[in-house]
Structure 1
Amino acid sequence: MLAVMCTLASLSDNFNLPYPSVDAKEMEVDFMSTISYIFALIVSLLMIRVCYVLYWTGRPLKCSPTISLRTLIVLGSGGHTAEMLSIVSVLRKDKFVPRSYVAALTDNMSLQKAQVYEDSLLNFENNVVYVENKRGAQFMQIYRSREVGQSYVTSTGTTIVAIMHAMWIVLKLRPQVILCNGPGTCIPVCACAYLLKLLGWRWCTIIYIESIARVKKLSLSGLLLYKLRLADQFFVQWPLLQQQYPRSQYAGRVM
């Protein structure tokens, strides 16, 4: 009993001992060291993810023949829409579905042509696949980064708005495949899809087909996608262009 009382007395004496003082500078150093370790870990994981994405970017699209792919099709004014609809016409309609069409807010003709094309698919009698695709088709407009003749000073704000709008569209549609062929509206869309791919949010295969009007050099949109390696598959329609850009693939004429 006496031993127990002595032990309890010694414990109470220990509790009454003053705590050792901790230097504030040492705490600050420990805090900064922890932050540095966390930051280094995040950067390392991001670099590993970037290397992984770069390794798999450019490889052929592989998936089960029975699995459909949500497809986002970027249209542009002029001949871009005619070329793109020519490409879409040879796609497997039961494979690339549902299809979503995106055009610039100031482009009043491209989406109308796409709607006419989707309506034409209904002319095939007893084709249930085409009817289901039509119900799943969507038509959306997107802000342009820069209008023709707009100053570069004011285009900064419109570019930010276009990127935010493009991110909203990509998050809403969640495309697995993006098809584009040169209009400037494809840049923010592809950039947002690639960013989500880097972050591991969703993998999206970007397929770019350069316009047939580009014989000797790429368009600005094509050059950006090529140099930044944003496109998984990059096609050109002229052999000379393929020789100048060896990572591209010669597809022949699509029209």
Structure 2
Amino acid sequence: MAFLVGAAFAVLLICALVIVRLYHVVNTGSSYKPGTKGPVAVLVVAGSGGHTTEILRLIECLSEAYTPRHYVIADTDRMSEEKICTFESSKHSDSESQFTICRIPRSREVHQSWSSSVISTLDALRYSLPLVFRLRPDMVLCNGPGTCVPLCVAGLLLGILGMKKVLIVYVESICRVETLSLTGKILYPMSDYFFVQWSSLRDKYPKSIFLGRIV
């Protein structure tokens, strides 16, 4: 009985420490300024269709300091890689462009049931953890595809373990006017910077940042 009580206390203590560490990591984002001493390695999460188009428009507005750029796409996405390569070749010459394209399993397919999406998200997390731990980006930039959730969790875990603070920057899609997307609702509490493109969302979500139409 004493052993069980001690084990339960140890588990509670570990959980409390993780929560405290998580709170510290999430709430120190504004004081952390990546790139002050060099380039900013950015992990860019591209989704299929409109998500990829919007994220590339965001990347186009970034300065040359944001390099290298590590694009992550779902393994079932057949169109985003071509769009990314075309974008990079048009923006940079082959000698200047510094980008990679990585694939992980998709967290949730269109019309996939919620119950099965939990399993597929855990599978995506299994691939996301070693990828993010290897790349160690300064920032994760995403705009809504479900694939970004396990990648953001992996980036957050780097900070919880004290290995590196990774900024989580989320830009909600322009088509979300009154309510956040499911991905936005999940990442809202853990993101360092959460941008919305409609003032109605800014009024509902006080942590969000409204700069008008970004893309």
Same fold (TM over 0.5): yes
Question: Shift in Å at residue 167 of structure 1?
Answer: 1.1
Answer 1 or 2: which has greater helix percent.
1
CA contact (8 A) 2:34 2:40 kept: no
User: Aligned letter for 1:70?
Assistant: A
Residue in 1 that maps onto 2:175: 213
Task: Report the CA distance shift for 1:84/1:131 in structure 2 as closer, same or farther (over 3 A).
Answer: same
Residue in 2 that maps onto 1:238: 198
CA contact (8 A) 2:108 2:147 kept: no
Bigger mean CA deviation after superposition, 77-86 or 150-159: 150-159
- 1:62-93: per-residue Cα shift (whole Å, max 9, x none)? 24544111110001112111111111011011
Question: Shift in Å at residue 149 of structure 1?
Answer: 3.0
User: Aligned letter for 1:248?
Assistant: S
Residue in 1 that maps onto 2:153: 191
Bigger mean CA deviation after superposition, 61-70 or 105-114: 61-70
Percent identical pairs in the alignment equals 40
Task: Report the CA distance shift for 1:61/1:39 in structure 2 as closer, same or farther (over 3 A).
Answer: closer
Where structure 2 has 5 or more consecutive residues not aligned to the other structure, the ranges are: none
1:165 maps onto 2:127 in alignment: yes
Task: Report the CA distance shift for 1:225/1:32 in structure 2 as closer, same or farther (over 3 A).
Answer: closer
Residue in 1 that maps onto 2:57: 86
Q: How high is the TM-score relative to the length of structure 1?
A: 0.75
Please identify the structure whose Cα radius of gyration is greater: 1
Q: How high is the TM-score relative to the length of structure 2?
A: 0.88
Where structure 1 has 5 or more consecutive residues not aligned to the other structure, the ranges are: 1-27, 124-129
CA contact (8 A) 1:60 1:233 kept: no
1:115 maps onto 2:85 in alignment: yes
Question: Shift in Å at residue 140 of structure 1?
Answer: 1.1
User: Aligned letter for 1:115?
Assistant: C
CA contact (8 A) 1:87 1:254 kept: yes
User: Aligned letter for 1:196?
Assistant: L
